[in-house]
Amino acid sequence: MPSLDRPDRPERAASSASAASASPEPYISVRGLCVDFETRGRVNRVLNDIHLSVERGGFTSLVGPSGCGKSTLLKVLAGLQAPTLGRVSVGGMPPSEAVRQRRIGLVFQEAALMPWKSALDNVCLLMELVGTLRDKEAIRTRALELLNIVGLGHAVDRKPSQLSGGMRQRVSIARALALDPEVLMMDEPFGALDAITREEMSDFLLDLWKRTGKTIVFVTHSIDEAVFLSRDVTVMATGPARILECLSVPLPYPRNEDSYATLEFAQTASHLRKRLKEGHRAGRTS
């Protein structure tokens, strides 16, 4: 199986290991986060007093109704949105610095591939823009390795229009992995896929997580998807936007289609549905 290790960046691995041993903090830490947006002179609080911890190598899903701030929280963690109040760190540093050091990879609901480029060229794109590898052949070799890892070694020359939705998302994940980030931020990456393809992509993502050890923060509207994938699930609510609960999923790994029929799965999914309904009702009455 191809490796995701990057021999050209040993200094970052060494510094990361040193930081992890020196600091008791989780890999992702959010303390008292508030985010305000101003619209037509009126200030709206989008996130209120958010506290969240994600351990290194963890898989945390964010679930909640539309408008509860899941995507905004992810943008803060990814350095795309500045906090109004509070403290946020990724790998012991502000998200903006983590982005600068290429520790964060982003995957969105839309694959956002360049339609005129092949799958291989789309994966090469970030490496070419950032310049992590100077040699064009080395970039293509790295991109081909990543496409093999996501199961698309046979489709390197296909344009996005020649790929299924699930295949396009695999290309976008390979592209996000191209700079060897320590954490993947994923904003409803399977939301536009049909049910069967979503399950296939969930299996694929768990396998990828197991093989790479990446820290994953995953936004989804699907309770079943969150339970199946995650080590921890964070339940969010509106009125004001906040966290209701951070729940550890008592479902052992490895997980497969039989996991959906277990008592642990049913109980966890049922609990999450109740909590989401509570938050939804509170949001309507606030």
Query: Which string of DSSP letters, residue by residue, matches 151-219?
Result: T-GGGTT--GGGS-HHHHHHHHHHHHHTT--SEEEEESTTTTS-HHHHHHHHHHHHHHHHHH--EEEEE
> Which one has a higher pLDDT value, 109 or 228?
228
Average pLDDT over residues 133-139: 81
pLDDT tens per residue across span 61-79: 999 988 889 999 999 999 9
**pLDDT at residue 33, as a whole number:** 96
**pLDDT at residue 44, as a whole number:** 86
Q: Domain boundaries in the chain?
A: 25-103+182-286, 114-180
Average pLDDT over residues 217-233: 96
**Mean model confidence pLDDT for the chain:** 87
For 25-103+182-286, CATH gives 3.40.50.300
**pLDDT at residue 24, as a whole number:** 53
In the structure, what pLDDT confidence band is assigned to residue 282 with cuts at 50, 70 and 90?
low
Contact 236, 242 (CB under 8 A): yes
**For the chain, what percent of residues have pLDDT higher than 90?**
72
Average pLDDT over residues 217-242: 93
